[in-house]
Amino acid sequence: MAVKNLLKGWSAARAPDGPKAAPAADDAARRLALFEDIERASTGWFWATDREGHLSYISPGAAQRFGIDVAALLGKPVAALFETDPDDQAERSGRPLQFILGAHARLADVTVRLIPALAGEGAPPAWWALSGQARLDAAGAFSGYRGSARDITTEYERQTQDSRAAEYDSLTGLANRHRIVRRLDQVLAAYRQTGQPCALVLLDLDRFKAVNDTLGHQAGDELLRQVGARLTKVVGKRGEIGRLGGDEFQIVLPGIDDRGKLGELADRIIGALSLPYELAGDRAVIGASLGMAIAPFDGGDRDDLTRAADLALYAAKHGGRGVFRFYSADLRDEKDERRQLEDDVRAAVASLFEGGDCPQLDLRYQPVVRLSDHRVMGFEALLRWERPDCGEISPEMFVPVAEDIGLIGLLGGWVLRRACADAAAWPLDVRVAVNVSAVQFADPAFPAEVADVLESTGLAPERLELELTEAVFMGDSHSTDAAFKALKALGVRLTLDDFGTGFSSLSYLRSAPFDKLKVDRSFVETCTLQDQNSARIIAAIIGLADALGMETTVEGVEAFDQRDVVCARGAKQIQGFLYSAPLGQQAILDRIGAQTEPGAPLLIEPSGPDRHRPERRSVYRRVGLIHQDHRYNVLMRNLSATGALLEGIIGVPEGTGVVLDLGGGQLAVCTVSRSQDAEIAVEFETALVSDGARGLVTRHRASPAALAAAARIPRVSTPQFLEVETRKPR
C-alpha cells in the first residue's frame, strides 16, 4: 500500500484533468506492478520526503540492505541519514547533499551511503546512485522529493580500487610519488597567499641495500612495508607520507615551522625506524636519515623546497647517518665537500701504511675509572684525525665515509692492532676498549683477525674489550651469532655501547654474550635537571646490568654534580673529562712511570667544575644586534642553547632587552645578563634547538616582511656605543 500511495500522489501530480480517468488508473496499476517488480529484484529502491525534508518513504529492500528497520529511518532528515562520497562531483563542486536538498535542486546519480553509525551490525557496505526530483503542489510550493536509487557498490569499489592503484603505493599503502607531489603543490598554493608555513621531509633508509643483498628482495619488500606502518604510526594526522620509490620517502607537514617540534618528530622517526625488523625468521636493523626544509623560508614552490630538503638530506646521510638536518644556505657546497672528504680520508688511511713519522690519524685513550678508589680499570681507544688545513675531524664524520668507500676494514684493523700493541705496555690489570664498526664486525674473517692481533702483540685476550653498537645485529642473525661465539672462544670481552639510546636492547641482552653495558652520555648530559628522567634511566640500566651479572660504565661525566647523581644511582665505573681528557700513549706511560711505588694501581684523581652547564660552542662570526631603532655589528664568541657571548659593543646595562640576528631569518629575543667593557653576555627568551648536526638554531624564523623591516634599521659603525635610557624609580 505504501508504494500505491506513493504512486497515487505521483500520478495525481502529473495526470491531466478530463474524461480519461479509467485509462489513467490502468496506467497507474501497470506502474505499480513495475515498481514492485523493481523493488523485489533489489536492483533499485524508491524514496520520498515531506516538505520539511524528512524521509516519508523508502523501499523495504533498501532498509534490509542497510541492516536496519524501515521504522528507524522514516521521519528522519534525509541529509542526516546519508553521506556523499568525498570524491563525488557534487562534493568537489562544493555542493554536498544537504545543500542540494535545501535548494530543492534536482539530484542526478549522486553517490551516497547510509552513515556507518546508523547501519546495522554486520551489514555489508553499500553505495548508491541517488536521483530525485522536487515535487510542487498545485500552488507551486515545494511539497517534498520523489526519487529512486540504484546499487552501484560493485562499480564503486572497482573504481575505488583503480583510483587507489593510481594514487597509492601498492607495496606500503602510502601515497605514491604522483599523489604526494600533487599534495605538496596543493598545500603550497593554498598557503602562499596567507604566508602559512609547510615543512617538507625527505627520508632515506640507511643500510637498506645490505638487507636486500644479504636477505633477498622479498625480505626487503617486507621491511619496506613495516617501515611504512611505523611512519604512519609516528606521523599520524600531522601530515601525509609518500613513498617516492626504492627506500626514499617524503612527508608533507602543513602548518608547521617550529624547528624544535620538527626535530623532536625527526628523532622519533629515526628511533622508530631503528627498531629491529623480523623478516621471515631473520632479523634486520637499519637506520634513517632525514632532510627538512620549510616554506616559505627555504623555498616558495615545490621545486625550490624539494631541492632544499634534498640538500639537507645529503648533508644528513654524509654527516654520520641516523641523523636529521635542516636546510641552510651553507649546504649548497656540501656535495663538493663530500668528494673532497672522501679523497682526504683515502690519503689519511694511506698515511698509516707509508712509514712516515707523522700520519694524519692517531689514537688517544680516555681512562675508565672506578669511583670507589679512583683506580683506572681501562682505557677506551679513540681515533683522531688531524685533517690538513681543517683541524681535528670527528670520527662521527669520517668513519661513515670510510665505510662507504670500502676502507673501514683497513682502518679498523690498524686501530685494533695499534691499541693492543700500546696496551701491552700498560699494567697487566688495565684493559683496552676498541670500537668496532658494524661493517667490520660483519666480515666473516674478523674473529680470525682479532686472534692474529692478540698473538702478534702478546696481549692477554681478557684485557681486550670490543665495543659494539646495536648496528652489528643487522642482517644474517646466524652469521652474527657465529661471530659472537668465535670471539668469546678467544676469551675477549664484549661491550654494548650507547646502551639506552635504541629501542631493542633487551632482546640483544637475551641472546648476545655481553660482559658490559655503557650508559650513553646523552643521559648524563641531562641527569642533573629536575624535569628529566635521565637519572632514573641510568639507575634502571645499572640495575638491569647488575641483575644480569654485567659491568657498567657511565660515559660523559664532566662535573662533580653529575658524578654525585650517577654515583647515587649505583654507578661503579665512569668515563669523562672529570677524570681526564683522552691521552696519548706517551702521556699514559709517563703517568705509569711517575708512580711512587712500582706495580701499584694506576690512580687518577677527579678534577673539574662543581656544576655542569650546557655546552657552549666556540664560534667566531659576525652577527647583528638590534636595539630599538638601531642595528649593531658584533662578534659572537660562543653560543649555547640558552645564551651567547658577544664582543664589540660598550655601554650596555644589564637587563637591557635586545634582538640578536643570527642570520637566515633567525631573530632571537635576548636580555643582557652581564656587561663588562666591550663584552656582553645575553640570555635567550626562548632556548635554541638542535639542527641535527651539533649546531643550534632558533625554533622559528622571521617572515620575509620582518626581515625587510630589520634590514632598514640604520647600522651603527664602530666605535659602537649603545645608549640606553635609564629611568629612576618613582
Of 15-29, 671-685, 699-713, which range is least confident? 15-29
Q: What percent of the chain has pLDDT over 70?
A: 85
Q: Are 645 and 625 contacting, i.e. CB atoms less than 8 angstroms apart?
A: no
What's the domain range around 125?
42-158
The torsion of the CA quartet 453, 458, 463, 466, rounded to 10 degrees, works out to: 0
Q: 33 in a domain, yes or no?
A: no
Q: Who has greater pLDDT, 389 or 429?
A: 429
Q: In the predicted model, what is the mean pLDDT of the chain?
A: 84
> Residue 548: helix, strand or coil by DSSP?
coil
Q: What angle do CA 445, 447, 453 make, to 5 degrees?
A: 100
- DSSP secondary structure string for all residues of 406-451: T-HHHHHHHHHHHHHHHHTTS-TT-EEEEE--HHHHHSTTHHHHHH
Q: Is the pLDDT of residue 207 over 70?
A: yes
Domain with 87 in it: what CATH number? 3.30.450.20
Phi/psi of residue 53, each to 5°?
85, 10
What is the arithmetic mean of pLDDT over 203-231? Answer: 90
**What are the pLDDT digits (tens) for 162-172?**
666 678 898 99
Q: Are residues 117 and 143 in the same domain?
A: yes
Q: Are residues 276 and 151 in the same domain?
A: no
What is the arithmetic mean of pLDDT over 525-550? Answer: 86
C-alpha cell at 458: 702478546
3-state secondary structure string across 464-524: EEEEECHHHHCCCHHHHHHHHHHHHHHCCEEEEEEECCCCCHHHHHHHCCCCEEEECHHHH
Q: 50 in a domain, yes or no?
A: yes
Pairing between β-strand 573-575 and β-strand 551-555 as defined by DSSP bridges: parallel
What is the arithmetic mean of pLDDT over 715-726? Answer: 50
**What are the pLDDT digits (tens) for 449-499?**
999 999 999 999 999 999 998 778 765 678 888 999 999 999 999 999 887
Which position has the grid cell 536538498?
101
Q: 9 in a domain, yes or no?
A: no
Q: Who has greater pLDDT, 90 or 183?
A: 183
pLDDT at 711: 62
**What are the pLDDT digits (tens) for 278-297?**
888 787 888 899 999 999 98
Residues 6+ apart with CB under 8 A from 594: none
Domains held by the chain: number: 4
C-alpha cell at 58: 523508502
Q: Are residues 212 and 66 in the same domain?
A: no
pLDDT at 554: 94
**Entry pTM:** 0.62
Q: Is the pLDDT of residue 43 over 50?
A: yes
Q: 592 in a domain, yes or no?
A: no
Q: 137 in a domain, yes or no?
A: yes
Domain with 450 in it: what CATH number? 3.20.20.450
pLDDT at 15: 45
Q: Who has greater pLDDT, 717 or 482?
A: 482
Q: Are residues 173 and 151 in the same domain?
A: no
**What is the band of 728 on the pLDDT scale with cuts at 50, 70, 90?**
very low
Q: Is the pLDDT of residue 537 over 80?
A: yes
**What are the pLDDT digits (tens) for 335-385?**
677 788 888 999 999 888 876 556 789 999 999 999 999 999 999 999 999
Angle between helices 177-192 and 153-167 (to 10 degrees): 80
Which position has the grid cell 517534498?
144
